[in-house]
């Protein structure tokens, strides 16, 4: 039988490590570079699956941590797996649950056995081992599943400001006696041991593809070591984890530019949890193929609309009487509502004034429309990134996406390096 | 120029006063008997207008009270009126704002001048007179607008239980010295004076149709007097108001069966704010053509799904592993998701278990899907009511809609009266 995932590189950018490709799965194809909307609890918040598909998304992400706690992976399996449960017929990726176990729960124990934590749903004790993380993901049935990794803070809590010590886990790590370097070494060694166990436990390799995750924080030597170890395990794809956990743009960029070339060029590369438009552009040019991020939906629910020229914060009184669309160039259902042959005669878009009204009146349709817009914004960004690679024309791209310009700077020879300012 | 509203009666039920008809407006046609979803603040809560249209709704209702307070009717007018503002190109009806002014606000003064109350949005004092209610509705631009009426409680607060004394207005009316009979007389006389003022103030009679409202509480003599007075003013349609404010089924039915025949048979009859399936069926058979109610959306947001066999309360643990749809006969987007050519391969419906999960996880998609289902449920009910009238087959209707059977009983000769039990 054919492997459950194949990856073809169709076009390579002569001026950077970017490539246009296509991932084939049992549930359909994904054009890369790809952006994956996040459907934490088995739903992209507020959106019918058909509307998510209409934004151009070809793959969505589900969170193992949330789904194992509620409604439980065995129930999801009995209802057709995550595809059937949430009525998303296309490709799905699930994470391992590790990241949320560290960041969202009261961490009770972390050892080679795994991680034990209190459920945020009912307070019960839950154990997540490499074997259990894979068993749960085998039950959820996503096309791409992720290895359980030990995911320490990338920045030493001792050097973090109080406001950045947000999570309980980070606070516990800031306790006396914590040695950040030792913790990173331990995490790196454990991650590779767990990866072997995940691969051995994977019972559905005929239909699901397991990806490994490179860790190492912001230390580039550790990233090199982790990449060598993780990529030493033969897998259909590899991810860069442990970024976008509080660092700035330049730190993310350093790690990605260092790590992406260390991953096998013929396999898909996935940068977890990133990010803003400039981050995606810079990572694509470093050779990354897949992204996920909650920004479009989370910000959308908070009246924050993305546009190629920057954010529109709809609560601002500036927009109270603004008859224009969020983005005149956008073809989303908020900016150009035309669904299923049903056309508006009265208006051609939902005005900023109307969207602002919805948020002021706490109406669900506000989060819905701005989430749809933001998801389409990121899909349009990916379409234009793929076009820029195919046409070898990042200058035109930069003109269309001023907000992403920073991501075009300094990717070595042949890029827009010094010319970035004039894009 | 043609009048802004025309009403044709296409089929009359030989066994009751029910009729199938068609209302034509500047924004399209409405098949009657019709059910109008309520979009209080310029949105049917949680639903894109195209999805509302896909449920079969041909007209929606907007609440003048809410829209005049936020965002204000002048702003709505500047953004294309309510049709353009909310992107609903079909017919719209607005109420006068009076009912909410009485029931939702701290009532400060009620006199022949009008009603003054505190805004629930910003606490400012707002005055609503007959002239102002029409001015606001002229700005909102709905196809059908309602006269401001004096809307007293239909039941004497002195006879109401404490739990039914819900609203501030009802509590204030229960004060010592309140004379319910005198209050009803006053309201009846004021309503007819205000109706004349509304008609005189109506500045857009070429594009908007003003309906009058018959009041009178549960007292049938008062209803007769009010009907004679209100219908003495020449208008394109008439409504029965002041029901569904706390009475039971039999009280509503008494009022409707008494009042509907007193309204001109060649004009549309609108029963405001009613109700459950049996109420609609009984009222249709009494000769009513138009309905609005928040039940499908309000209950939908609370995990309460309507089916022809009764309610499915999704929070119930019974449904935790239920793989079936809400209603196997239903063709809504929850029970048979198939939108815009995008088909699910994995599943053919959203299961009760999945919908329950959405509510347990407080996901917006739960309220969205159940609201869509409930709206479609009521539109399917109206479709079947129209079919029952056309085919003169209420027996078949009763078999398809067990939940509405009570509404088939006791409408005089030729109906299912005594046979109701065998339906």
DSSP annotation string for B156-195: -GGGS-GGG--SHHHHHHTSTT--HHHHHHHHHHHHHHHH
Q: Are residues B145 and B261 in the same domain?
A: yes
A56: in domain: no
Q: Are residues A282 and A155 in the same domain?
A: yes
| Residue A349 belongs to domain spanning | 301-392
Kindly state the tokens that stand for B204.
Answer: 């857009």
Kindly state the tokens that stand for B129.
Answer: 């007179």
* Cβ-based contacts of B376 with chain A (< 8 Å): none
Quickly state the pLDDT bin for B408 (edges 50, 70, 90): very high
Q: Could you tell me how many residues make up chain B? A: 423
Is the separation of the CB atoms in B153 and B172 below 8 Å? no
pLDDT 10s digits, A24-82: 999 999 999 999 999 999 999 999 999 999 999 999 999 999 999 999 999 999 999 99
Exposed, middle or buried by CB within 10 Å (0-12, 13-18, 19+), for A177?
exposed
Quickly state the pLDDT bin for B151 (edges 50, 70, 90): confident
A345-349, B155-159, B321-325, range with the lowest pLDDT = A345-349
Per-residue pLDDT at B169 exceeds 70: no
Quickly state the pLDDT bin for A271 (edges 50, 70, 90): very high
Specify the residue for token string 């294309």.
Answer: B80
Q: What is the average per-residue pLDDT within A85-105?
A: 91
B331: in domain: yes
Indicate yes or no: CB of A364 within 8 angstroms of CB of B49.
no
pLDDT at A346: 42
pLDDT at B419: 37
Kindly state the tokens that stand for A148.
Answer: 């359980």
Indicate yes or no: CB of B333 within 8 angstroms of CB of A48.
yes
Using DSSP, state whether A260 is helix, strand or coil.
helix
Tell me the HSE value of B93 on the side-chain side, using a 13 A CA sphere. 31
Kindly state the tokens that stand for B347.
Answer: 């599943």
Q: Are residues B28 and B169 in the same domain?
A: yes
CA Rg, chain A, in Å? Answer: 21
Q: Which of B293, B317, B338 is the last residue of a domain?
A: B293
C-alpha–C-alpha distance, residues B213 and B226, integer Å: 9
Q: Are residues A381 and A359 in the same domain?
A: yes
Return the closest-CA partner of residue A308 out of A285, A276, A334. Answer: A276
pLDDT at A89: 92
Q: What is the DSSP letter of A307?
A: -
A164: in domain: yes
Q: Are residues A133 and A112 in the same domain?
A: yes
pLDDT over 90 for what percent of chain B? Answer: 78
Quickly state the pLDDT bin for A157 (edges 50, 70, 90): low
A253-257, A285-289, B103-107, B162-166, range with the lowest pLDDT = B162-166
Using DSSP, state whether A219 is helix, strand or coil.
coil
Higher pLDDT, A254 or A342: A254
Q: Residue B381's CB: how many other CB atoms inside 10 A?
A: 23
* Cβ-based contacts of A71 with chain B (< 8 Å): 320, 353, 357, 360
Q: What is the average per-residue pLDDT within B135-160?
A: 87
* Cβ-based contacts of B43 with chain A (< 8 Å): 358, 363-365
A381: in domain: yes
Min CA distance, B141 vs chain A (Å)?
A: 12
Return the closest-CA partner of residue A374 out of A286, A293, A303, A305. Answer: A305
C-alpha–C-alpha distance, residues A395 and A398, integer Å: 5
Q: What is the average per-residue pLDDT within A409-418?
A: 46
pLDDT 10s digits, B63-115: 999 999 999 999 999 999 999 999 999 999 999 999 888 888 776 789 999 99
Can you count the helices (H) and strands (E) in chain A?
15, 19
Indicate yes or no: CB of A75 within 8 angstroms of CB of B320.
yes
Using DSSP, state whether B304 is helix, strand or coil.
strand
Quickly state the pLDDT bin for A151 (edges 50, 70, 90): confident
Residues paired with residue A20 on neighbouring β-strands, in sequence order: A11
Q: Are residues A289 and A316 in the same domain?
A: no
pLDDT at B248: 83
Q: Are residues B214 and B320 in the same domain?
A: no
pLDDT at A107: 66
Q: What is the DSSP letter of B240?
A: E
Per-residue pLDDT at A171 exceeds 70: no
B257: in domain: yes
Kindly state the tokens that stand for B63.
Answer: 């609440």
C-alpha–C-alpha distance, residues A148 and A133, integer Å: 6
Average pLDDT, chain B: 90
A102-111, A205-214, A374-383, B272-281, range with the lowest pLDDT = A102-111
B396: in domain: yes
Specify the residue for token string 């160039």.
Answer: A329
Q: Are residues A164 and A273 in the same domain?
A: yes
Q: Are residues B320 and B367 in the same domain?
A: yes
* Cβ-based contacts of A320 with chain B (< 8 Å): 71, 75
The alpha helices in A302-411, defined as continuous H runs, are 352-360, 365-391, 394-400
Distance of CA B151 to the CA centre of its chain: 16
Per-residue pLDDT at B415 exceeds 60: no
Sequence-separated (6 or more) residues with CB below 8 Å from residue B199:
B147, B210, B233, B235
Q: How many domains does chain A have?
A: 3
**Strand segments (E) across A51-101:** 60-62, 92-94
First vs last Cα of chain B: how many Å apart? 48
Interface with chain A: mutation pick from B84, B85, B326, B365, highest number of A CBs within 10 Å: B365
Q: Are residues B140 and B266 in the same domain?
A: yes
pLDDT over 70 for what percent of chain A? Answer: 89
C-alpha–C-alpha distance, residues B220 and B375, integer Å: 32
Q: Are residues A277 and A312 in the same domain?
A: no
C-alpha–C-alpha distance, residues A99 and A167, integer Å: 12
Exposed, middle or buried by CB within 10 Å (0-12, 13-18, 19+), for A311?
exposed
Quickly state the pLDDT bin for A168 (edges 50, 70, 90): low
A348: in domain: yes
Indicate yes or no: CB of A342 within 8 angstroms of CB of B54.
yes
Specify the residue for token string 């007389």.
Answer: B185
Indicate yes or no: CB of B50 within 8 angstroms of CB of A340.
yes
C-alpha–C-alpha distance, residues A421 and B389, integer Å: 72
pLDDT at B196: 98
Q: Are residues A18 and A119 in the same domain?
A: yes
Angle, vertex CA A206, rays to CA A200 and CA A212, nearest 5: 50
Indicate yes or no: CB of B365 within 8 angstroms of CB of A71.
no
The pTM assigned to this predicted structure is: 0.94
Q: Which of B243, B275, B293 is the last residue of a domain?
A: B293
User: What is the CATH classification number for the domain harbouring B153?
Assistant: 3.20.20.105
Give 3-state DSSP helix, strand, coil % of chain A, rounded to 5.
40, 15, 40
Interface with chain A: mutation pick from B43, B122, B338, highest number of A CBs within 10 Å: B43
A189-203, B121-135, B346-360, range with the lowest pLDDT = B346-360
Interface with chain A: mutation pick from B28, B65, B87, highest number of A CBs within 10 Å: B87
Q: Which of B231, B264, B293 is the last residue of a domain?
A: B293
B199: in domain: yes
Is the separation of the CB atoms in B365 and B386 below 8 Å? no
Per-residue pLDDT at B346 exceeds 50: no
Kindly state the tokens that stand for A225.
Answer: 């070591």
pLDDT at B105: 72
């Amino acid at each position: 039988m054919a492997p459950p995932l194949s990856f073809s590189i169709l076009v390579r950018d002569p001026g950077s490590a970017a490539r246009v490709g296509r991932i084939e799965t049992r549930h359909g194809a994904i054009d890369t570079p790809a952006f994956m909307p996040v459907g934490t609890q088995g739903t992209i918040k507020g959106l019918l699956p058909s509307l998510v598909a209409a934004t151009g998304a070809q793959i969505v992400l589900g969170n193992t941590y949330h789904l194992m706690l509620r409604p439980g992976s065995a129930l999801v399996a009995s209802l057709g797996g995550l595809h059937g449960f949430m009525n998303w017929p296309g490709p799905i990726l699930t994470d391992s649950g590790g990241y949320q176990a560290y960041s969202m729960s009261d961490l009770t124990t972390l050892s080679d056995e795994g991680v034990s934590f209190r459920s945020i749903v009912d307070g019960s004790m839950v154990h997540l081992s490499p074997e259990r993380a894979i068993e749960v993901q085998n039950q959820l049935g996503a096309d791409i599943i992720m290895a359980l990794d030990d995911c320490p803070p990338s920045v030493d809590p001792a050097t973090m400001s109080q406001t950045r010590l947000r999570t309980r886990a980070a606070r516990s790590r800031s306790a006396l006696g914590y040695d950040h370097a030792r913790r990173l070494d331990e995490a790196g060694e454990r991650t590779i041991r767990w990866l072997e166990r995940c691969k051995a436990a994977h019972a559905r390799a005929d239909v699901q593809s397991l990806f490994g995750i490179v860790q190492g924080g912001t230390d580039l030597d550790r990233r090199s070591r982790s990449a060598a170890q993780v990529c030493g395990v033969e897998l259909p794809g590899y991810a860069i984890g442990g970024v976008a956990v509080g660092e700035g743009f330049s730190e993310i960029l350093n790690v990605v530019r260092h790590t992406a070339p260390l991953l096998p060029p013929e396999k898909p590369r996935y940068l977890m949890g990133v990010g803003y438009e400039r981050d995606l552009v810079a990572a694509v040019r470093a050779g990354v193929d897949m992204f996920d991020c909650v920004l479009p939906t989370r910000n959308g629910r908070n009246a924050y609309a993305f546009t190629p020229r920057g954010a529109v914060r709809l609560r601002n009184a500036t927009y109270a009487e603004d008859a224009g669309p969020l983005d005149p160039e956008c073809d989303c259902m908020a900016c150009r509502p035309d669904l299923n042959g049903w056309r508006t005669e009265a208006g051609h878009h939902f005005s900023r004034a109307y969207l602002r009204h919805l948020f002021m009146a706490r109406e669900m349709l506000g989060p819905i429309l701005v989430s749809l817009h933001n998801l389409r914004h990121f899909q349009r960004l990916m379409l234009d990134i793929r076009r820029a690679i195919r046409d070898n024309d990042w200058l035109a791209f930069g003109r269309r996406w001023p907000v992403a310009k920073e991501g075009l700077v300094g990717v070595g020879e042949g890029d827009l390096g010094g010319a970035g300012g004039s894009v």
